[in-house]
Structure 1
Amino acid sequence: MKDQKNTLEVKLLMIQGKIHSLPVAPFLKTSLLQDIALAIAKRNNPEAVLDILGVMTGKLLKRPTCQRGIALSLLRDLERLQQKLLPIVARKGKKKPDQKGKPDLTLPFAGSAAAAGPVFSINNTGTGKGGEFTGGDSSPGLVGFGGENSGCGLQGIGGPPDGNGVCGQGSGAGAGVEGIGGTPTLVPSLSVTGGPGVRGIGVDVTSGVLDAGVGGGEGVTAVGGSATTAAQGASANGGAAFSGVGGNAIATIGDITHAVAGAAFIGFGGEARTNGSFSVAISGDGVSALAGVAVTTGVNGATADAGDGGFFWAGDAFTTGNNNSEARGGIGVTGLGGDAVTSGIGSLARGGFGLRALGGSGESSGASSDATGGHGGVLSGGDAESSAANVAITAGNGITVAGGNILAAGPGSTITPGNGVVGQGGNDETGTVPGGHGIVGIPGTGSVPGLAGLFNGNVQVNGDFTATGAKAFKIDHPLEPEKKYLCHAAVESAELKNFYDGLAVLDEKGEAVVEMPPWFGALNEKFRYQLTPLGFIPHPLYIAAELENNRFRIAGGSPGLKVCWQVTGVRKDVYAQKSGFQVEVPKAPHEQGCYLSPDFYGEAPEKGLFAGINSRSNPSREEIREEAKRKKRK
């Protein structure tokens, strides 16, 4: 008993320390500190401590701002300590059973009493139920009302070693357990929030054993019911492990009102802290979902459709008010990567992913069976429509990304701002076909096809660049920039050829030496020359000395003659030698019979080399909506 009291004192002192760091109004902090000081003083009286903790819990629950962060952690500590004190108080309040026989209870029975322990207690020393209550038509079998200062309406404590605190089994289509949140007291100019329908607090698990692994209990664990059918043509749909519908928000009267509908589900991952050397702290996921496996053993024509790891359907937005109204549809998924902070020397701080998706594998061992891996992400921009004239109609982007910024850096730091998009194609582990493409762009259709890629800035290609069409520049027309473009095509060759030209003036001997850049000879070989005099000459010009030490000599003209010269060379640098440029390239086995431009040869689009890529693989918005409705019907 002494150890039990010491443990209670330690827990109360820990709560007192947490209150000191609580970011709340001074009057509330002072009130809570007075309460906990009284609880410490009455630590030998569990009943009194339990009452004080209930009062403190009520003070915190009445303020929505106290239900997150360190305040939420304090609430959990208070409720867990109350759970541990309840059995102690219950045992202390027990009385010896009446030896004369069963108590005489006349129904209906109602009574009240003032006691520190339970006023009504049933103890079954056998193996049967402690009690059984059956309600009338459409009435609950048992109703519990919590006492003042946020007492629990009904509390269940599981028996050792692994008993459940509360078990519920619905009848027909009824719920096994149903919780209805409390209605708050409305106060002018104060934001209040109704109580949660169901709240679960996982139990703390503490261990001092070396190398022992411990895990805190889950706050809520849900397992969907199985669906089994053996009848031909029947459908079996397993129950969802969790199904939530956010509450509606309606503002019916008054301007400048603000209505925010409730979230169907909100998850806050638990914190992870460690101060030991070489330790690892991994915080809990806010939401973690693992889709179920789909298996079919049918012989022919069977389909197995695995569930989604997460399916989110944002709410629609409608406005029926006056002009200049604005309706914004909800966001399907919003991901915000967690911050990473470290102050140790040589440490690494790596922020979490805002959103990460991994497509499922596709495997097949059956004859003539195809295998296609799932997409890591399929994103489709929202459609836009309007029947009004002279308005701007802009459909949503399929994806909009921005690299992270460098906000500050110390001396000598390596600075690398984040990239907007990084794409890496998949590998072919069989070594039979080329690897996947890092980025694939497909133009949209319209009066003029859109661009497969648009880069508003400089572009660098570390590798070969190929095109089936013209390689050209396109600028605003110098003479009519508001109405026209001016385009020029690049000069093409069967070799990696460079062109150089210039103007030389012959000296008194009728000669000129042309100096090339210092790197010219290291880059080029196989030189070709062209000379064009500006004016009449009686004798032809010629190359008196070919290129050597990055210079060549022109002769055969009269003094002062201007000569236009051109020199071409073929690249011989390391990259050109390693790349092995080929003029005629045989098509790979999987490309045989396909065309880069099938329509130019009168062939069907299916003959195109990129026919599979160009076909729309992303579901339309309506298809996604129909899929969502189907899932909701399940």
Structure 2
Amino acid sequence: MNIKTTLTLVCAAMMGMQLQAQNVGIGEPAPSSKLDILQTETAGSSLEVNHTITTNGSSAIFLRNSGTNRALHAQNLSTTTTSSIARFLQLGQGNGVEIDMDAASPSGIASFLVNNAGAGFGGYFIQAAGNTRPGLLVDHSGSGYGMMVYQNATGNGIYNDVTNGTGFVNIIRADQTGFLGDHTTAGGTGASISLDVQDGIGYIVDADNGNSTTPATAGGDVYGFFANVYTASPVAAGTIAGAAFAATQGGVSHGMLINHTGSQGRNAEFNINGATNADETVFATNLGQGPVFVGQQQSDVLAGTITAANFSYTGADLDDHIGVEGSSTPAAGYGIGVQGTGNYYGVVSIGDMIATGDLTAFGTKAFTIDHPEDPENKMLKHFAIESNEVLNLYRGIAQLDANGQATIELPSYFDDINTNFSYQLTAIGTPEQPYVMEEVNNNKFVVAGKPGTKVSWTLYAERNDAYMRAHPEAGQVEVEKKENNKGKYIRPELYNASPDKAIFKSHTVKKQSSTIQLPKGKELQNQQQDRPAIKIQKETTELPTLD
């Protein structure tokens, strides 16, 4: 017997090694396996394998199993320990755990199976704070699903709790769908986003070529939100489906585009149904160079008179509510509150018009102010003078010189816009009346009388500006009604005629209301409540179970 054999037997004896029927036991008097190790010490590992040769390319432990059960089976029999069944500490450059399935593996067999019958996690991944790599990476090259979740009971199919960063990133490298929700089996909510009382955005679409400050130079048509909806008639009149939408457009196209091709129905409708809500139904601002709103009626085939825009107060409250209010208040002296342009009439008023006083088209024309003697309870109205001519009026005070003359200078534009003059002179402080010595010429005229007399003068002139010269019919007093207005009236009620005989008909919209109503059984639910899951055809897959 050589020294090596002797040492081996001595060591085996010291360790309590037992050899029975070719089974080897270490600390185990009756080994049941080829190698059976029983740990009887209070500290230390039951088995430790050290692979210290750095040039050795073999595995520290290599397991082969030609039988029908597992190559490795580990159990933790302690019911109080919080330690893991297995731990893999990787200090090198490779993967933590690698499972290679042979190409001949049957369909439906899982490379990694967790069968959790308890109350713990099925899988738990902890990623170091400085690690920029994914916590879980699935590199899928097949034609099936990269990851599939069957949620067969209450709860969430996927739950994502994010403290910082983006909750979900989906990069699509082909012309495919980024997210598909199939609700054809049970309906339900396609996406529910709850911000509670927090600031946030429910849905963002960026189509800016990676640079939101510069318009994209290439690309096709892009829609921030696109939906095809074909629904049956509402179960009750006036009920509609509703949605909130917010978007930021940084390019040169539309922020929102809605095309309606149906034979009826509004393109968009906005309702505030809270009786105490004092906010605007629609609020819009524009920091650019164009108008805030542009509306165009472009139909060439219309039945009767159409209104391109209609704003109406349809309530019954006893107050002077305003149908349309326009204001423009830039620097002092500038701004036009309301401007109307028409080939026939620029502005038509059915009733009195008031501009801090009545300026009416068909009734009286007056300025209206608070009565200076009783401003809290009364108003004072001064009325405009009607005339059968389109006139301009000029007035002033002149002082006759020692020669009994005064030259009255008129505005520099006077000759350009006036013709056919009339004069009125009144002496102040003397009965001797002055007279017109020279008529208007080169924007001035001369009056004469008793030297030193103060003269009050008034000059009436017929308008003769460029517009009046181009449209002399604008000053015509008696006008024939157009053929389509024959037999109609501006104010038919004054002639005991029916309202349908009015030339300018009111297009006031009747009072109406619309209620946003969700389909029955589809009310929004809290996150912890049961929601219909996306139904995807399951493959017939038999997964093995644990012993």
Residues 127 and 586 of structure 1, relative CA distance in 2, 3 Å threshold? farther
Rounded to whole Å, the distance in 2 between the matches of 1:266 and 1:503 is 71
C-alpha distance in 1 between matches for 2:102 and 2:511 = 67
Q: Which residue of 2 aligns with 1:572?
A: 464
Alpha-carbon deviation of 1:426?
0.2
Q: Distance in 2 between matches of 1:174 and 1:382?
A: 35
Structure 1 match to 2:259: 360
Partner of 1:289: 225
Aligned partners of 2:239 and 2:99: how far apart in 1?
Answer: 51
Change (3 A) 1:602 1:146: farther
SS of aligned partner of 1:548: coil
2:107 aligned with 1:128:
yes
Matched, 1:114 2:88: yes
* TM-score, normalisation: structure 1: 0.49
Distance 1:493 1:144, change over 3 A: farther
Mind listing any 5+ residue stretches in structure 2 that lack a counterpart? Answer: 1-57, 77-84, 90-94, 330-334, 353-357, 360-365, 526-547
Residues 33-432 of structure 1 mapped to structure 2, 5 A cutoff = 100-104=66-70, 112=86, 114=88, 116-118=95-97, 122-123=101-102, 125=104, 128-131=107-110, 143-147=122-126, 149=128, 156-160=138-142, 162-169=143-150, 178-181=157-160, 199-203=167-171, 221-226=179-184, 239-240=188-189, 242-246=190-194, 260=197, 265=202, 267=204, 269=206, 272-273=209-210, 280=217, 288-294=224-230, 311-312=243-244, 356-364=255-263, 371=264, 374-375=267-268, 378=270, 380=272, 383-384=275-276, 395-400=278-283, 404=287, 422-430=292-300
Identical aligned pairs, as a percentage? Answer: 19
Question: Is contact 1:226-1:239 (8 Å) kept?
Answer: no
Residue equivalent to 1:368: none
Contact residue 444 and residue 451 of structure 1 kept, 8 A: no
Tell me how far 1:510 sits from its aligned partner: 7.0
Alpha-carbon shift at residue 102 of structure 1 (Å)? 3.3
Task: Name the SS of the counterpart of 2:278 in structure 1.
Answer: coil
Q: Distance in 2 between matches of 1:632 and 1:105?
A: 52
Over the residues paired in the alignment, what is the CA RMSD in angstroms? 6.0
Q: Hey, what's the Cα distance between the residues in 2 that align with 1:570 and 1:199? A: 76
- For structure 1, the residue ranges without an aligned partner over 5 or more in a row are 1-91, 183-192, 206-213, 228-236, 249-259, 313-332, 339-349, 365-370, 385-393, 405-416
Higher helix share: 1
Is the Cα contact below 8 Å between 2:418 and 2:463 reproduced in 1?
Answer: yes
Flag the 1:598–1:225 CA change in 2: closer, same or farther, 3 A: farther
TM-score relative to the length of structure 2: 0.55
Larger relative contact order (Cα-Cα within 8 Å, sequence gap ≥ 6): 2
1:455 partnered with 2:327 = yes
Residue 480 of structure 1: how far off its partner (Å): 5.0
C-alpha displacement of 1:597: 9.0
Q: Which digits, 9 at most, give the CA deviation of each residue in 1:500-530, with x for residues without a partner? A: 2233456788776543222111012343444
Rounded Cα–Cα distance in structure 2 between residues aligned with 1:96 and 1:435 = 88
1:551 to 440, 444, 447: 444
- The separation in 2 between residues aligned to 1:181 and 1:631, in whole angstroms, is 24
Equivalences, count: 422
1:372-415: per-residue Cα shift (whole Å, max 9, x none)?
Answer: 6524x63649542xxxxxxxxx82233455554xxxxxxxxxxx
Residue identity in the other structure for 1:503: I
**What does residue 410 of structure 2 align with?**
516
Write the letter of the residue equivalent to 2:225: A
Q: Does the residue aligned with 1:521 lie in a helix, a strand or coil?
A: helix
- C-alpha deviation, 1:180, in angstroms: 2.5
The aligned residue for residue 394 of structure 2 is 500
Contact 1:383 1:396 in 2 (8 A): no
**What displacement does 1:144 show?**
2.4
Report the equivalent of 1:527: 421
**3-state SS of 1:397 partner:** coil
